[in-house]
Amino acid sequence: MQKLTIVKIGGNIIDNPSELEKAIKKFALLPGLKLLVHGGGKIASEISERLNIKPNLIDGRRITDEDSLEVVQMVYAGLINKNIVANLQKYDCPAVGLSGADANSLLAHKRPVKEIDYGLVGDLDQVNSDIIRKLIEIPLVPVFCALTHDGKGQILNTNADTIAAEIGIALSKYYKVTLIFSFEKAGVLLDIQIEESLLPKLDNETYKKLKSDKVIADGMIPKLDNAFRSLENGVKEVYITNFNTTELENKVKFNGTKLTLV
Amino acid sequence: MQKLTIVKIGGNIIDNPSELEKAIKKFALLPGLKLLVHGGGKIASEISERLNIKPNLIDGRRITDEDSLEVVQMVYAGLINKNIVANLQKYDCPAVGLSGADANSLLAHKRPVKEIDYGLVGDLDQVNSDIIRKLIEIPLVPVFCALTHDGKGQILNTNADTIAAEIGIALSKYYKVTLIFSFEKAGVLLDIQIEESLLPKLDNETYKKLKSDKVIADGMIPKLDNAFRSLENGVKEVYITNFNTTELENKVKFNGTKLTLV
């Protein structure tokens, strides 16, 4: 089995031009087969505001109505995705930008309405690993934005961490997958204020305990849930890290927190 | 050699939801290998206006400055391209949306500054026919928006008719290419006011004469120049037509004006 590295970069990198430039260069220089998933950052909110589209919040939750989806589609698939792709080409990385509608790669359904109607938000049903493999083997480097589709003509907004995890799981049947969840911190911190409290390793049992003790909370929980789920379902290695601290000299070394299973 | 049909649809179809829906369905039902190129329509201007980006006009010519390029990138590659791709998937057409940066498919250079600096407008240098063929043979159906890149990280705005013509020429080494330039009229009209003045055929010599007699003028000239250039450089068949009048029953029949060489 060949190795495949999947890197997910989030808003903190997308919103910062010099960090984004660094991440693009690092990703382009990563040896071997690879795939990028990117989030959206704050640009979509800024464009919404300039277009005078009011954020639709219910109980503090952001609802993706039709106008918001248009903005997200423009910003994720048009502005950010094509900027990343064009800049990867600069480093001879044969990137191809994709939404989940492209090549029917990511099928989802609109999240069912329970207490809240989230609007045009998609829960992933199927990663078309056949087509993604064919693209990788051309060889191309897929660059996914956080959009899926329902197969009936509707684009849907889907969490980028979930997309990265599910692509990782689906492709782990064919590749030895390393999955990197990049974010603004050095990794999982015991005290969010103190960089020195970085955990170099974190296993699933310790994670459960830290979660019930409320040491790990908020946005870290869905991220780590995605990360551990991918590790439990075929992905070989998972790191929570700031991707830009990756060392590429001699041998690739991902810093941050390495997740393990007990 | 296999047949390949390339269809270029323009603003008149993009701007009209029911015409666009019809074109998408017709394209999805076209048998054989195929490729779509789409223009931008008026949406980019509307979004620019809403974002309070003033059109930059010099001597009546629209200049693509950085702000305008961002809008064009969002609207062409994000909004329109992904809507078309998602709707083609609805009809089981395995579409993949591409800008020229994707898979390094269309390389261009910024148009040199002479009397006018057009800004971030690209003149095509190279169609990467190898990679486009590999995508077609997966099999996928490439859907190109009117954006190219310079290989140095810059996206550029490029005329969709030119992109369609140059892709047609480049792929004519490998396929028997039929090229359809779709627009709002039935085809080339001798009198633009009278649909009945449609020319079912037009050869290059007659075109030259009609051009010097000013019977054919304005926007038709670059379109027909592109069309005849493609015919002179390997493309087998070229039609100027309203693509939505294409007949698909029994045998495919493109209506409008068929171009020929004498």
Handedness of CA A109, A113, A116, A120 (dihedral sign): positive
Residue B191: both structure tokens together? 């009198």
Minimal Cβ distance to B85: which of A50, A94, A101: A101
| B151-201 pLDDT tens trace | 999 999 999 999 999 999 999 999 999 999 999 899 999 998 998 999 999
Predicted confidence (pLDDT) at residue B120 exceeds the cutoff of 90: yes
Task: Report the pLDDT value the prediction gives residue A242, as an integer from 0 to 100.
Answer: 96
Residue B64 identity: T
Rg (alpha carbons) of chain B, rounded to whole number: 18
Tokens of B251: 């045998």
Q: For A40-77, how does the pLDDT look when each residue is reduced to its tens digit (9 = 90+)?
A: 879 999 999 999 998 777 776 778 999 999 999 999 99
CB contact (8 A) between residue B82 and residue A73: yes
The shortest CB-CB distance from A86 to any of B75, B94, B155 is to B155
Residue B51's closest CA among B75, B34, B20? B75
Question: Which position has the token pair 């493999």?
Answer: A133
Query: What is the bridge-based pairing of β-strands B61-63 and A201-203?
Result: unpaired
Angle at B99 between CA B98 and CA B102, to 5 degrees: 75
Partners of residue A70 in chain B, C-beta under 8 Å: 79
DSSP letters of B177-228? Answer: EEEEEE-SSSS-BSSTT-GGGB-SEEEHHHHHHHHHTTSS-TTHHHHHHHHH
What architecture does CATH give domain A2-260?
3-Layer(aba) Sandwich (3.40)
* Per-residue pLDDT tens listing for chain A (262 residues): 999 999 999 988 999 999 999 999 999 999 999 999 999 879 999 999 999 998 777 776 778 999 999 999 999 999 999 999 999 999 999 999 999 999 999 999 999 998 888 899 999 999 999 999 999 999 999 999 999 999 999 999 999 999 999 999 999 999 999 999 999 899 999 998 998 999 999 999 999 999 999 999 888 999 999 999 999 999 999 999 999 999 999 999 999 999 999 9
Which secondary-structure segment (H or E) carries A163?
Answer: helix A160-171
- Report yes or no: A107 and A150 within 8 Å, Cβ to Cβ: yes
Residues A108 and B142: their CA atoms lie apart, in Å, by 22
Residue type, B15: D
* Residue B12: predicted pLDDT: 87
Report the pLDDT value the prediction gives residue B58, as an integer from 0 to 100.
76
| Calpha distance B10→B26 (Å, rounded) | 15
Of all residues in chain A, the one with the smallest CA distance to B141 is: A103
Scored b (16 or more CB within 10 A) or e, B122-150 reads bebebbbbebbbbbbebebbbbbbbbbbb
Rounded Cα gap, residues A150 and A1, in angstroms? 32
Q: Residue B2, class by beta-carbon neighbours within 10 Å (0-12 exposed, 13-18 middle, 19+ buried)?
A: exposed
Q: What pLDDT, on the 0 to 100 scale, is given for residue A219?
A: 84
Mutation target to probe the A interface, by most A beta carbons within 10 A, among B91, B104, B134 is B104
Residue in the block written with tokens 């500054």: B113
pLDDT of residue B226: 95
Cβ contacts of residue B210 below 8 Å, gap of 6+? B190, B202, B216
- Note whether A78 contacts B76, CB cutoff 8 Å: yes
DSSP H helix total and E strand total for chain A: 9, 14
Chosen from A47, A85, A133 to mutate, greatest number of chain B CBs within 10 A: A85
Domain ranges of chain B: 2-260
Helix, coil or strand: residue B146: coil
Model confidence pLDDT, tens digit, residues B208-259: 999 999 999 888 999 999 999 999 999 999 999 999 999 999 999 999 999 9
Contact A151 B90 (CB under 8 A): yes
User: ipTM score of the complex?
Assistant: 0.97
- Which residues are CB-contacts of A150 (< 8 A; sequence separation ≥ 6)? A107, A108, A109, A110, A122, A156
Q: How far is B38 from chain A (nearest CA, A)?
A: 15
Task: Please give the share of chain B, as a percent, with pLDDT higher than 90.
Answer: 89
Min distance B6 CA to chain A CA atoms (Å)? 18
Instruction: Measure the CA angle with vertex A235, ends A234 and A241; round to 5°.
Output: 155
pLDDT value at residue B162? 97
Residue A137 has phi, psi (to 5 degrees) of -85, -5
User: A-chain residues within 8 Å CB-CB of B102?
Assistant: 82, 85, 95-97
CA distance A149 to A168: 19
Q: Which of B51, B131, B151 sits opposite A50 (nearest CB)?
A: B51
Give the minimum alpha-carbon distance from A33 to chain B in angstroms, rounded to a whole number: 15
Q: Closest partner residue to B74 among A74, A87, A138, by Cβ?
A: A74
Of A97, A135, A149, the CB nearest to B89: A149
Residue A7: exposure state from Cβ atoms within 10 A (0-12, 13-18, ≥19): buried
In the beta sheet, which residues pair with residue A62? A57
pLDDT above 80: residue B62: no
**Which ranges constitute the DSSP H helices of B98-203?**
129-136, 160-171
Instruction: Kindly report, residue by residue over B50-61, the tens digit of the pLDDT.
Output: 999 987 777 767
